[in-house]
């Protein structure tokens, strides 16, 4: 049976994070994940996780100066100190709440040294997370939602992972981003399966619930299970209003 994780960056995003965790549990999710939990005390998040029995599967490093246009820091040359401070913060927070995965955000950069900078910061992140059993994730973002993002596509991500050479560096495979950038989601997923650390989903092309759009998630979830994936799949879609009204898909898959 397919298990699902609620991404609380989008689902129940209008509620405080502990309340969103309780809402996800009440709705029948098997786990949760989030984007940037840092404004909520880790003790409050841990208490909600303990009360519900849910695991927080992953969180993101801070984006940086969002007002100035930042969307991650780790692939931006000359900002290594900021990037590594964000990594340290994420590791500390993840350790406090029992989270095993950290998405290290690359950021916007077309600098010739972006890949080198990213690799060096990822080696730092992997070394910081390894003693705690943490996996670092990288995620290509599509060029329509995030034009200029330094990690362009899954082939680029696979090369970065190979260059870094750390056992605890994996790909965050977001079906929505891959579908918009590359198409043929199931084929890319099969090809990349050995390096995938987490899978997320949303409809194409509007990033809504998975029971709409052009991507057949019923078949895709069957393919994912057949590959041997048994971790919860991340529901990272935009509900466009009240989250509960969009959850009918959970009874379909």
Residues serving a catalytic function are 139, 236
The Cα–Cα gap between 216 and 234 comes to 16
Spatial contact of 172 and 139, defined as CB atoms under 8 Å apart: yes
The Cα–Cα gap between 140 and 200 comes to 12
Alpha helices, DSSP H, located in the chain: 17-27, 42-52, 80-97, 114-129, 154-164, 175-181, 185-192, 217-226
The Cα–Cα gap between 175 and 171 comes to 12
Which residues in 208-232 are b (16+ Cβ under 10 Å) and which e? Answer: bbbbebebebeebbeebeeeebebb
Tokens of 247: 């959850």
Tokens of 90: 């994420």
């Amino acid at each position: 049976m397919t298990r699902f994780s609620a991404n609380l960056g989008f689902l129940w995003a209008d509620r405080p994070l502990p309340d969103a965790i309780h809402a996800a549990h009440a709705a029948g999710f098997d786990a949760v994940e989030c984007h940037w939990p840092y404004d909520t005390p880790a003790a409050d998040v841990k208490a909600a996780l303990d009360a519900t029995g849910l695991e927080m599967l992953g969180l993101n490093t801070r984006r940086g100066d969002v007002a100035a246009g930042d969307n991650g820091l780790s692939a931006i040359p000359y900002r290594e100190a900021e990037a590594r401070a964000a990594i340290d913060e994420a590791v500390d927070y993840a350790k406090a709440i029992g989270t095993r995965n950290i998405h290290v955000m690359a950021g916007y950069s077309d600098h010739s040294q972006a890949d080198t900078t990213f690799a060096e910061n990822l080696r730092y992140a992997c070394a910081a997370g390894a003693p705690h059993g943490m996996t670092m994730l990288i995620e290509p973002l599509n060029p329509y939602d995030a034009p200029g993002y330094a990690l362009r596509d899954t082939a680029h991500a696979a090369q970065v992972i190979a260059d870094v050479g750390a056992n605890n560096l994996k790909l965050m495979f977001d079906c929505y981003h891959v579908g918009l950038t590359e198409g043929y989601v199931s084929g890319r997923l099969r090809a990349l399966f050995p390096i995938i650390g987490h899978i997320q989903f949303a409809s194409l092309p509007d990033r809504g619930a998975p029971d709409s759009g052009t991507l057949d998630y019923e078949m895709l979830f069957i393919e994912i299970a057949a590959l041997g994936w048994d971790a919860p799949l991340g529901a990272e879609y935009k509900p466009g209003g009240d989250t509960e009204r969009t959850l009918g898909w959970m009874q379909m898959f």
